[in-house]
C-alpha cells in the first residue's frame, strides 16, 4: 500500500543525499522514479537536484501552478515512486494532489524539505505535509554546540538576521543550522516578546 512520506530536516542534514540514494536504489532494481524539485531553487541549475558535495540528478520542476497529479498520471509506464526535493515550496493544493497520487494511483510519494523558515514558522508546503503525510521522519543534524539543529538561521555577511522576505534561496552562505537555544542567543532574542 502506497504512502505519503515527509522527511524534513534543517539545512545541511543530508535530505538531498537521501533522496538521491532512494532514487538510485529504485533504479538499481530496474524501477522508474519521477524526481521533482522547485523551479524557484536556482542555486545550482534549474531542473537539477544537487547535493552540497556535487551529486546531482535531472528532475522535473514545479511551481505554484503545476498539477503534479495530472503530470504523474500521464506517465507511462507508471513510475514506482515519486520523489520531491524542496517540498517546502509546494502549495496546499499540491500536497492534496500528492495524496491523490498515493491513494488513487497507488504510487508512493517521498517528500524532502524544510519544516520551518528562518523565522521558525511553517513553510507553505510543510504545514499540510505535517498534517497529511502517512509517515513523518526527521533527518537530523547538529548545531555547533552539539545539540540537535532545528532552526535555519539566516545570515547576511556572516551576521544573523531575523527580518526580511520569508523566501531567500541560498546555501551555507545564507543559512546556518542551529538549535533553538543558540538561535535565541545569536539573534539576541528578548524573552517573552514575540517577533
Active site residue 86: yes
Tens digits of pLDDT across the chain (195 residues) = 999 999 999 988 889 999 999 999 999 999 999 999 999 876 667 778 888 788 889 999 999 999 999 999 999 999 999 999 999 999 999 999 999 999 999 999 999 999 999 889 999 999 999 999 999 999 999 999 999 999 998 888 888 887 776 665 555 567 899 999 999 999 887 665 665
Alpha helices in the chain (DSSP H): 15-28, 68-73, 92-103, 126-132, 180-186
The ranges assigned to domains in the chain are 4-140
pLDDT digit string, tens, across residues 46-75: 778 888 788 889 999 999 999 999 999 999
- Which DSSP category does 86 fall into? S
Alpha helices in 92-133 (DSSP H): 92-103, 126-132
Q: Which of 86, 137, 138, 195 is catalytic?
A: 86
For 4-140, CATH gives 3.40.50.300
**How many other β-carbons are positioned within 10 Å of the β-carbon of residue 79?**
19
State the pTM of this model: 0.90
Distance CA 114, CA 125 (A): 9
Amino acid at each position: 500500500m502506497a504512502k505519503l512520506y515527509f522527511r524534513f530536516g534543517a539545512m545541511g542534514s543530508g535530505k538531498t543525499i537521501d533522496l538521491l540514494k532512494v532514487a538510485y536504489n529504485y533504479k538499481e532494481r530496474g524501477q522508474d522514479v519521477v524526481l521533482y524539485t522547485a523551479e524557484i531553487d536556482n542555486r545550482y541549475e534549474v531542473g537539477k537536484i544537487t547535493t552540497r558535495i556535487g551529486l546531482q540528478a535531472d528532475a522535473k520542476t514545479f511551481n505554484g501552478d503545476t498539477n503534479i497529479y495530472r503530470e504523474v498520471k500521464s506517465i507511462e509506464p507508471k513510475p514506482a515512486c515519486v520523489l520531491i526535493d524542496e517540498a517546502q515550496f509546494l502549495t496546499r493544493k499540491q500536497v492534496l494532489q500528492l495524496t491523490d497520487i498515493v491513494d488513487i494511483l497507488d504510487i508512493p510519494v517521498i517528500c524532502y524539505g524544510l519544516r520551518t523558515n528562518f523565522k521558525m514558522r511553517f513553510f507553505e508546503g510543510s504545514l499540510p505535509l505535517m498534517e497529511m503525510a502517512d509517515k513523518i521522519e526527521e533527518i537530523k543534524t547538529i548545531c555547533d554546540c552539539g545539540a540537535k539543529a532545528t532552526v535555519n538561521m539566516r545570515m547576511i555577511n556572516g551576521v544573523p538576521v531575523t527580518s526580511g522576505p520569508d523566501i531567500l534561496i541560498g546555501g551555507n552562505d545564507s543559512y546556518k543550522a542551529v538549535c533553538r537555544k543558540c538561535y535565541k542567543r545569536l539573534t539576541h532574542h528578548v524573552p517573552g516578546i514575540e517577533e
